[in-house]
Amino acid sequence: MRVVVSGGAGFIGSHLCRRLLADGHAVLAVDNLVTGRRDNVADLAMHPDFHLLEHDIVQPFDVDGPVDLVLHLASPASPSDFLRIPLEILEVGSTGTRRMLDLAHRKGARFLITSTSEVYGDPLVHPQPETYFGNVDPTGPRSCYDEAKRFGEALTMAYRRMHDVDTVIVRIFNTYGPCMRPDDGRVLSTFIHQALTGQALTVHGDGSQTRSYCFVDDQVEGLLAAARSGGAGPYNVGSTEEYTVREVAELVIEVTGSVSPIVTMPLPAERSGDPQRRQPDLTRTAAECGWQPRVPLAAGLAVMVDAARRELHGA
Ligand code: NAD
Ligand code: UDP
């Protein structure tokens, strides 16, 4: 297949490109590097079937030749971006998504959008099935991201209904692994960086809020399973291993062997409305995509810590 991956130089996108190439596909990554890094795909630069087009997908563009699959991942995704670049997030989720849908429509390609567990907001139903409509604050600091993703889902369904585009929506839950930016503000990248550099691990609030953490290799497999399934979704893709933030801090200390202390601090402003609990219900994804996560958190963390150590030492 020839696959176009928007956001292909980002954290999840770069792993996805690598996997697609290993499976024998040709890959065109389109990325403006707003939160991605050229380094993430540096090892692919010489691959004959890989090309990186540095472009903002909000601006018009076209691709020569046939395209079989469009994987639309482009979007800043870290809460630290929500106050910094909210307009860019809204634009890529709306106009950017439309440009990628137009591309899939022109080429007759299947289209996959990476939506998010954030469409459930601070959920009142636990765990969250795809049938839950969510509890989203439409004006809070997270709204630029949550509502852009909800709009992207609606746009995707409109293209499916109006133009017969073969679409699938995936709702990604918290994902971690090598290639996350150490300063992206997300909990695991932050804790690992703090633990490896002798700084205190900064738990927000009392640390009783939970997330369920999916290793990136599992996530990539889940995205490809959803793409292959032929279904429309939405499909939750994430891990059901649920941890409090405090438990995660303790696990990072254990895996790194760090002597850093764990401290608590007030929730930062951009985090107001922080979801208290999050765990995917994977019943539909397992039944329709035949996928389930495999990598336990401690094992995935060990891989991520190794990669973070190498990056710190400039390797
Ligand atoms: P990331 O920031 O590492 O990757 C996103 C990529 O999109 C970056 O390389 C960025 O430069 C690129 N991008 C952003 N705006 C663009 C634009 N206008 N034009 C071209 N490229 C643009 O984030 P990630 O964690 O890899 O997330 C990938 C996707 O998965 C996103 O859509 C995100 O919303 C979704 N997601 C991720 C998580 C997670 O835990 N990582 C959870 C839920 C959803
Ligand atoms: N968090 C924390 N300390 C940090 C960074 C994050 O306690 O240094 C908390 C954050 O408030 C949230 C959880 O960890 O409750 C997960 O944050 P992350 O940004 O990784 O994911 P998201 O909130 O987008 O699900």
Q: What is the pLDDT of residues 128-168, one digit of tens each?
A: 999 999 999 999 999 999 999 999 999 999 999 999 999 99
Please report the pLDDT score of residue 269 as a whole number: 84
pTM of the entire predicted model? 0.98
Say which ligand is closest to the CA of 90. 1
> 187 CA to middle of ligand 2, Å?
4
Strand 175-176 relative to strand 214-215, pairing: parallel
Each residue's pLDDT tens digit, 179-188: 999 899 999 9
CA distances to 87, 147, 152 from 100, rounded to whole Å, are 18, 18, 11
**Which atom of ligand 1 has the smallest separation from the CA of 96?**
18
> 259 CA to middle of ligand 1, Å?
33
Please report the pLDDT score of residue 204 as a whole number: 97
Token pair in block for residue 281:
């219900």
Fold of 2-173+216-240+279-294: Rossmann fold (3.40.50)
Q: Cβ(172) to ligand 1 under 6 A? A: yes
Contacts of 184 (CB under 8 A, 6+ apart): 35, 78, 80, 190
Each residue's pLDDT tens digit, 261-274: 999 999 998 888 89
Torsion of CA 70, 74, 79, 81, to 10 degrees: -170
% helix, strand, coil for the chain, step of 5: 40, 20, 40
Dihedral sign, CA of 52, 54, 57, 63?
negative
What are the residue boundaries of the structural domains of the chain, listed by start? 2-173+216-240+279-294
Q: Cβ(175) to ligand 1 under 6 A? A: yes
Q: Measure the CA–CA gap between 245 and 201, rounded to whole angstroms.
A: 11
Q: Cβ(33) to ligand 1 under 6 A? A: yes
On whether the CB atoms of residues 294 and 214 are closer than 8 A, the answer is no
Each residue's pLDDT tens digit, 200-222: 999 999 999 999 999 999 999 99
- Catalytic residue, candidates 145, 213, 235, 243: 145
Could you give phi then psi for residue 75, rounded to 5 degrees? 175, 130
User: Phi-psi bin for 151: left (phi > 0), alpha (psi -120 to 50), beta?
Assistant: alpha
Nearest CA to ligand 2 atom 4: 187
Amino acid at 264: T
Which of 202, 211, 272 is the best mutation target for the ligand 2 pocket, counting ligand atoms within 8 Å of the beta carbon and taking the most? Answer: 211
**Which atom of ligand 2 has the smallest separation from the CA of 201?**
8
On whether the CB atoms of residues 85 and 61 are closer than 8 A, the answer is no
Residue 315: pLDDT above 80?
no
